[in-house]
Structure 1
Amino acid sequence: MFNHRHYVPILKWKMGEYQALSRLAAPVKDRITPLVEIPPVGFDFETQTNKESADDHLGDFGKRLKSKWQARPCFVDLKHLPAATRCAGGRHCVDVLFQTARAEGCAAIPVVSFANDAAFLAAVATVARQDRRGVCLRLSLPDFDRLNLQADIENLLRSMADGYGECDLVVDLGTPTYVPIAIMVTIMQTLMARVPMLNQWRTVTIAGTSFPNSVANIAAPYQLLPRHEWQAYRAFIATLGHETRIPTFGDYVVAHPDLVELDMRMIKPFAKLRYTITDHWHVARGTPVRTHGFGQYQQMCATLVRLPYFSGRAFSAGDAYIEDCAAGTATTGNLSTWVWVSTNRHLTKVVDDLAIAHGLSIAAE
């Protein structure tokens, strides 16, 4: 159970992201319930086959979750796995994944949506009965066009939970046009007014992002990109009365929601450093790492640490790594390194932003 003082980041369950979670300070972890998305089984473009079986893909989830997040609650969404995905013996992937989490004593809560088929929902209902942690319903913008939204929600959840009090709600805006902010605030007000039984849900989160799907056009050495989702959220909650339930803030950290399977033989990834500051992201873009190497990150970090908004090494593990890289005392790593560095910084910064916005002291709680 959490309220608007909490934070729900939506993360892909990949190495950079789960390393970012594991390296957070304990007080920051205590203010986060991540919604982790299981990525699809990787595809080998050379052999034109999947890199592994569904069992291999999902089999170590519980052990890894325990290692990186211990027994803290998290939402788990399998939306990126094709509906027909099955494991050995015809077992549903939902059954297999949550069994691995259960075996490790992890507090994983399944995510459902109107996009899930009957077999998926039946598997989640079985998990919910076994684990007794309820479920999380993820609504997208098109769902609010349903003529009988409340009845549809109740029909969807009936087999999984005993009422709204056992359900978490995430209203996922995706990647809307946040500007003008005033118009976006009106949209958010309208959506929340359409949520049935707003005060009865276990938790209510509103999430979305304005992070671009590509930073290829970022001008060197860096640009500041506005965090429109954070600006819109602050403007939205400022309109709410004292008796109105305030939704929890969620975002897609420093990434775009879309998952694209890339043939790494054909692309030339650029060095990029993403650093979250108040109301903006500092995004630095270098040159292709295959031809120019990762050494360029040292200069990118050196430029950042000289700027007035660099928080210093004590702020987060990501900040410490940036400072050490700038000084030449940490390696320049690989692409996964800079995902965890950027994500760890972002998670810590948002928790800090929320504490300031709500007049809280993390240390005092």
Structure 2
Amino acid sequence: MLYVPIMKFKQGEKDALYQLPTELKEKVVPLFEITPDVIQKEKSLGISQIWEYPYFFDISPEYYNELSDEEYLGLLAKCQGHLVPVIKLTDSLEKVDAIIGKAQNGVAIRIYLEEILDDNFQNLFSDLTHKLNINETDLIIDAQFVEPVQINIKSTLMKETLNRINKIPEFRTVIVASNSFPQTLSNYEKHTLVSIPRSESKFFEKVKKSFEEKGIKIVYSDYGVNHWTYFEYVPGMQVTFNIRYTYNDDFIIYRGDSNKRGGFSFAKVQEACHTLVNSSCFLGQNYSWADQEIYEKAIGAVAKPGNATTWRALGTNHHIVFILNHLSNQS
């Protein structure tokens, strides 16, 4: 396990994973956050149709507490393949028992940074871990949103984890997640490439040093080219074309027009792709499936602009390949 991308289980994200070459799929263990719309529409989650490798299963944070234990366990029963269910600190011990009973590949505990700093954390965590085989449990520590100016503060707070969880070295893996992609792109200039600082890798490197001093190896995790919160699409909402492209320590953004203003017309999409392909940020048509698609649209070899789902797939696919290459070079 080299990388844990936290992904909403939408078609764009599924396409991004499906298009990865096998040698990269084997290095990725995605954490699927199932969202309310997927729960309402999907009779079967169909995970095995796009992913034949290990994965974590969770529910989008905004919806988690609204889901009854029975509903959650019903969703869990729909999952196929090498499933690792995620347990939360707020789960009832009865629910934990039921999850453990269904888990054939171990479980994961996902805790948020703000929970670790709570006065009652150690008691709750102790009660939870007493029910688990720690050696078959993954620990996911999620800092959620980390702005560039917060990297030092939040990495310092993350060190407190080492003081509050005595048995960290005993976990099967320790995964550290963060996110810095903005919640909205509406404040950024249109029809040009804009660089947004990407904090995740810098935050991870700072945290990594603290853990390594204690002999603990951690695994990198992020939310890709999405904000950590769930964005609910409302019928009739105007979708705006945008490109999300990861490069070095930045997200490169191209914000186009809304669908109503022809933002997804081929002429406008081709112009956007041409701008990216001819910039110093573009990593080449052979870098990933997404880069090949962008290049072909830029030169007019493929006259299909795609829709919002297409462009989420392309942004996500490129991001995963970029992060895997970055992590491989660091190891």
TM-score, scaled to structure 1: 0.82
User: Hey, what does 1:138 align to over in structure 2?
Assistant: 110
Amino acid at match of 1:310: F
Q: 1:240 to 1:152 in 2, by over 3 A?
A: closer
CA distance, structure 2, for counterparts of residue 292 and residue 310 of structure 1 = 25
User: Hey, what does 1:154 align to over in structure 2?
Assistant: 126
Q: Which stretch shifts more, 303-312 or 142-151?
A: 142-151
CA distance, structure 1, for counterparts of residue 172 and residue 212 of structure 2 = 20
User: Hey, what does 1:92 align to over in structure 2?
Assistant: 70
Task: Please say if residues 24 and 344 of structure 1, whose CA atoms lie closer than 8 Å, have aligned partners that are also in contact.
Answer: yes
101, 107, 116: which one aligns with 1:129: 101
Q: 1:227 to 1:182 in 2, by over 3 A?
A: same
Amino acid at match of 1:222: L
Q: 1:276 to 1:192 in 2, by over 3 A?
A: farther
SS at match of 1:109: strand
User: Hey, what does 2:5 align to over in structure 1?
Assistant: 9
Task: Please say if residues 150 and 196 of structure 1, whose CA atoms lie closer than 8 Å, have aligned partners that are also in contact.
Answer: no
Query: 1:61-210 to 2 correspondence within 5 Å?
Result: 61=45, 64-70=46-52, 72-78=53-59, 79-81=61-63, 83=65, 85=67, 92-101=70-79, 104=80, 106-116=81-91, 118=92, 122-147=94-119, 149-159=121-131, 161-162=132-133, 164-179=134-149, 181-210=151-180
CA distance, structure 1, for counterparts of residue 78 and residue 177 of structure 2 = 28
Q: 1:240 to 1:126 in 2, by over 3 A?
A: closer
The RMSD of aligned alpha carbons is 2.2
Matched, 1:235 2:227: no
Q: 1:207 to 1:82 in 2, by over 3 A?
A: closer
SS at match of 2:168: coil
User: Hey, what does 2:216 align to over in structure 1?
Assistant: 245
The CA deviation at 1:18 is: 1.0
CA distance, structure 1, for counterparts of residue 96 and residue 18 of structure 2 = 27
The CA deviation at 1:226 is: 1.0
CA distance, structure 2, for counterparts of residue 271 and residue 182 of structure 1 = 34
Amino acid at match of 1:10: I
Per-residue Cα deviation, 1:229-276 (whole angstroms, up to 9, x for no partner): 2122223334555652131111110000111324232x3222110000
SS at match of 1:208: strand
Task: Please say if residues 94 and 124 of structure 1, whose CA atoms lie closer than 8 Å, have aligned partners that are also in contact.
Answer: no
User: Hey, what does 2:32 align to over in structure 1?
Assistant: 36
Task: Please say if residues 38 and 80 of structure 1, whose CA atoms lie closer than 8 Å, have aligned partners that are also in contact.
Answer: no
User: Hey, what does 1:26 align to over in structure 2?
Assistant: 22
Task: Please say if residues 174 and 207 of structure 1, whose CA atoms lie closer than 8 Å, have aligned partners that are also in contact.
Answer: yes
CA distance, structure 1, for counterparts of residue 109 and residue 103 of structure 2 = 17
CA distance, structure 2, for counterparts of residue 290 and residue 280 of structure 1 = 29
Structure 1: which 5+ residue stretches go unaligned? 43-53, 359-365
Per-residue Cα deviation, 1:121-161 (whole angstroms, up to 9, x for no partner): 534533432332221111112211233534422312444x3
Task: Please say if residues 229 and 251 of structure 1, whose CA atoms lie closer than 8 Å, have aligned partners that are also in contact.
Answer: yes
Query: 1:206-225 to 2 correspondence within 5 Å?
Result: 206-220=176-190, 221-225=192-196
User: Hey, what does 1:343 align to over in structure 2?
Assistant: 316
CA distance, structure 2, for counterparts of residue 241 and residue 113 of structure 1 = 25
SS at match of 2:125: helix
SS at match of 2:323: helix
CA distance, structure 2, for counterparts of residue 242 and residue 123 of structure 1 = 36
TM-score, scaled to structure 2: 0.90
- Equivalenced residue count is 326
